[in-house]
Amino acid sequence: MKASFFLDKVRKGKPLVHHLTNWVTIYDCANIVKVFGAAPVMAHATEEVTEMTSLSSALVLNIGTLTTDFIEAMKLAVKSANKKNIPVVLDVCGAGATAFRDKKVFELLEAGKIDVIKGNASEVARIAGLDVATKGVDSTDVNQDLTEIARQLAEKRNCVVVITGAVDIVADKQKVFKIKNGHAMMANVVGTGCMAASVIGTFAAISDDLAEGISAGLCCYEIAAECAAEKASGPGTFKEKLFDCIFTLNSDIVDERQKILAIFANS
């Protein structure tokens, strides 16, 4: 599988990606879609979400700064996405932090078909119903467990599960991809996690096999991060150069740097 193939498809297809996301990184989420050559749209009024989603090729939900009203708008958007049969990505941002947040995440998971659940190790563990301390789950020692957690949740929820981290895990019922690209600087700036969800939505929009397309998207994003880190003098300039490097990313760089490990269930 070549990530550059999917990058090309995004740039040619220019999918419209509808977001209902948090107010902290909303600009970054829109801009990352744009610099990948696709088209972001942000709209959350209950009176228009149904129609806006119906015009789009993917839906990205992020509960970072959730409110009850906002979650209701998300539910309408999910129904509309399901009707049009476009992929729905749910970033379970901050799951586990408060009882309200947990309650609302599960309401969303029951509101319709969620195609991709995305979070860091502790957030996804929470959704999987595990009673693991965050610290333990995040450590590399339980790396094997993370793959298993992702796989089981993918099976249980009949969806793709993405656990982001130093190594990203993308699992569906049949296979697991591990993306080993990226750079430590990503953890030093606000927004890289939220942007990952937008990248997932953008690549899901143009992919027949979601897990494959999503892995390609994360790989491209993180290769750009590697290039940006080489040119940056800290997290501020890193983020701007990340946008530059995505915009100027070409197949040669992606092919050369791609580090995706694919594991198939019956291999």
What is the binding site for a second copy (CB under 8 A)? Answer: 22-28, 30-31, 34-35, 40-45, 47-48, 51-52, 55, 64-68, 94, 97-101, 188-191, 232-237, 239-248
Q: Least Å distance between CB 28 and a second copy?
A: 7
Cβ-Cβ contacts under 8 Å for 10 (sequence gap 6 or more): 36, 37, 38, 202, 203, 205, 206, 217
Distance in angstroms (rounded) separating the CA atoms of residues 262 and 1: 9
Distance in angstroms (rounded) separating the CA atoms of residues 219 and 63: 24
Closest CB to a second copy among residues 97, 263: 97
Q: Least Å distance between CB 45 and a second copy?
A: 5
Residue 189, judged by CB atoms within 10 A of its CB (0-12, 13-18, 19+), counts as: middle
Q: Least Å distance between CB 20 and a second copy?
A: 10
Q: Least Å distance between CB 12 and a second copy?
A: 16
Enter the DSSP assignment of 25: S
- Beta-bridge partners for 179: 168, 260
Closest CB to a second copy among residues 1, 132: 132
Q: Least Å distance between CB 47 and a second copy?
A: 4
**What Å distances lie between residue 256 and 2, 182, 251, CA to CA?**
10, 14, 8
Closest CB to a second copy among residues 51, 255: 51
Closest CB to a second copy among residues 23, 264: 23
Q: Least Å distance between CB 160 and a second copy?
A: 27
Cβ-Cβ contacts under 8 Å for 176 (sequence gap 6 or more): 147, 150, 151, 169, 170, 262, 263
Closest CB to a second copy among residues 92, 170: 92
Distance in angstroms (rounded) separating the CA atoms of residues 83 and 239: 36
Closest CB to a second copy among residues 100, 174: 100
Q: Least Å distance between CB 32 and a second copy?
A: 9
Q: Least Å distance between CB 125 and a second copy?
A: 18
Distance in angstroms (rounded) separating the CA atoms of residues 100 and 47: 25
Contact status, residue 30 vs residue 40, Cβ threshold 8 Å: yes
Closest CB to a second copy among residues 44, 175: 44
From the list 2, 37, 45, the residue with the least C-alpha distance to 16 is 37
Cβ-Cβ contacts under 8 Å for 108 (sequence gap 6 or more): 61, 63, 71, 74, 75, 78, 90, 114
Closest CB to a second copy among residues 144, 233: 233
